[in-house]
């Protein structure tokens, strides 16, 4: 949905358009575009006869969509629901907008149903709501990193999601999680390693000080991050807004140099290790870029 070209980079394909591209066997990718979505909508539902007239019409609609509540969002979410309803794919994965905007995006059919009393668009909100509200068909995977702000936003989103959009959270995915380096007994040694610094410097050179510092920094970052993830865990356990068994899936920090297909396949491997294929039926994803 967030057409900045990040998805095209991830698959290493030139540019993604509204028209899907097969980026790997059985894997298709597209980029949302409100104007194309409107064009398709008008063709399918309104049967606007003269295609030539849609051009200026579409740009005017874009203006209206900027000012009128819910119009732009419904064009996006409507397209997704349409793909699900027509069963063009077995699974539709949506790289949704950042967590601050996701509620107004998935919640658009509700806003439209509230604000628009008559008209084609209102009549079409019900089947979208049926798809979005059904936990067997739609799940929101909230992606976060183990840092203060992203975790706080994740909790805020989980608290609002069900009541304001009707959609169910299906997982929290914690990305870039640093691995545990030391067990408890080892940590006790690390904490006192300064006492042995002269021995280390003698043996491996003055850089030993920096090497120790790096380990200490990484461990401190890991511990701070783990504390933030504990906040999500505790919140899920206590909250009535999400299922008590909402899974938190972790993807390790990869330290990889490149982005693109290499990183994508590493992340996919990590996710495969974490996910139990029998329990995951999610159709949509949301989160921070």
Partner 1 sequence: MGDLDNLLASREMILVAGSGGVGKTTIAAALGIAAAERHKGRVLVLTVDPARRLATALGLDEFGNTPTRIDPSAFGDAGIKIRGEMWVAMLDTKAGWDELIRRHAPDPEIRDAVLANPLYENITSRFVHSHEYLAMEQLHDLHARGDFDLVIVDTPPSRNALSILDAPSRMVEFFGSRLLRWLTVPYRSRLFTVASKPFYQVADRVLGSRFLQDIADFFVLFQAMESGFVRRAREVEALLVDPRTAFVVVTTLETAPSHEARFLARSLLERRMALGAIVANRVLPRELADTAAADSAAALLDQASGPLADQVAARLDAPIKQVRSVLTQIASRFDDVALVAARESDRWAELAAMAPTMASVPWLDGDIHDLAGLGRLAGYLRDA
Q: Which residues of the chain form contacts with partner 1 (CB under 8 A)?
A: 2, 42, 46, 48, 53, 57, 60-61, 63-64, 66-69, 71, 98, 100, 111, 115-122, 147-150, 152, 181-182, 185-186, 188-190, 192-193, 195-196, 199-200, 203-208, 210-215, 217-218, 220-221, 224, 255, 257, 259, 288-289
CB of 232 to partner 1, least distance (A): 15
Closer residue to partner 1 in complex, CB, 160/221? 221
C-alpha 211/C-alpha 223 separation (Å) is 18
Q: Report the run of H or E that residue 8 belongs to, with start and end.
A: helix 6-11
Closer residue to partner 1 in complex, CB, 15/192? 192
Is residue 143 classed exposed, middle or buried when 0-12, 13-18 and 19+ CB atoms within 10 A define those classes? buried
Cα 267 to chain center, whole Å? Answer: 14
Closer residue to partner 1 in complex, CB, 28/160? 160
CB of 280 to partner 1, least distance (A): 27
Torsions phi, psi of 179, nearest 5?
A: -70, 155
Closer residue to partner 1 in complex, CB, 14/56? 56
Pairing state between β 27-29 and 284-287: unpaired
C-alpha 83/C-alpha 76 separation (Å) is 11
CB of 215 to partner 1, least distance (A): 4
CB of 247 to partner 1, least distance (A): 24
CB of 82 to partner 1, least distance (A): 15
Torsion of CA 236, 238, 244, 245, to 10 degrees: 50
Residue 286 pairs with which residues in a beta bridge? 142
Closer residue to partner 1 in complex, CB, 88/209? 209
Closer residue to partner 1 in complex, CB, 28/221? 221
CB of 44 to partner 1, least distance (A): 12
Which residue, 274, 263, 284, is CA-closest to 6? Answer: 263
Angle made by CA atoms 15, 36, 30, in degrees to the nearest 5: 35
């Amino acid at each position: 949905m967030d057409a900045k070209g990040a998805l095209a980079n991830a698959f290493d394909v030139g540019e993604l358009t509204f028209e899907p591209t097969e980026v790997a066997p059985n894997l298709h990718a597209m980029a949302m575009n409100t104007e194309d979505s409107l064009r398709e909508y008008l063709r399918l539902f309104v049967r606007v006869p003269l295609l030539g007239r849609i051009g200026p019409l579409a740009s005017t609609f874009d203006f209206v969509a900027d000012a009128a509540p819910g119009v732009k969002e419904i064009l996006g979410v409507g397209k997704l629901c349409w793909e699900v309803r027509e069963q063009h794919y077995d699974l539709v994965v949506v790289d949704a907008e950042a967590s601050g905007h996701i509620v107004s995006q998935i919640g658009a059919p509700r806003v439209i149903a509230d604000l628009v009393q008559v008209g084609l668009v209102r009549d079409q909100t019900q089947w979208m709501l049926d798809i979005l509200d059904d936990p067997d068909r739609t799940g929101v995977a909230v992606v976060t990193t183990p840092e203060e702000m992203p975790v706080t936003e994740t909790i805020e989103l989980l608290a609002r999601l069900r009541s304001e959009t009707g959609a169910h959270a299906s997982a929290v995915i914690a990305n870039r999680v640093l691995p545990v380096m030391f067990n408890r007994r080892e940590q006790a040694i690390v904490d006192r390693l300064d006492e042995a610094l002269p021995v280390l410097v003698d043996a491996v050179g003055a850089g030993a000080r920096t090497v120790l510092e790096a380990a200490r920094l990484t461990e401190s970052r890991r511990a701070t991050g783990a504390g933030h993830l504990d906040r999500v865990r505790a919140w899920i356990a206590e909250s009535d807004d999400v299922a008590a068994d909402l899974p938190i899936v972790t993807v390790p920090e990869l330290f990889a140099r490149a982005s693109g297909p290499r990183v994508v396949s590493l992340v996919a491997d990590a996710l495969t290790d974490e996910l139990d294929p029998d329990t995951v039926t999610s159709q949509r994803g949301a989160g921070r870029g």
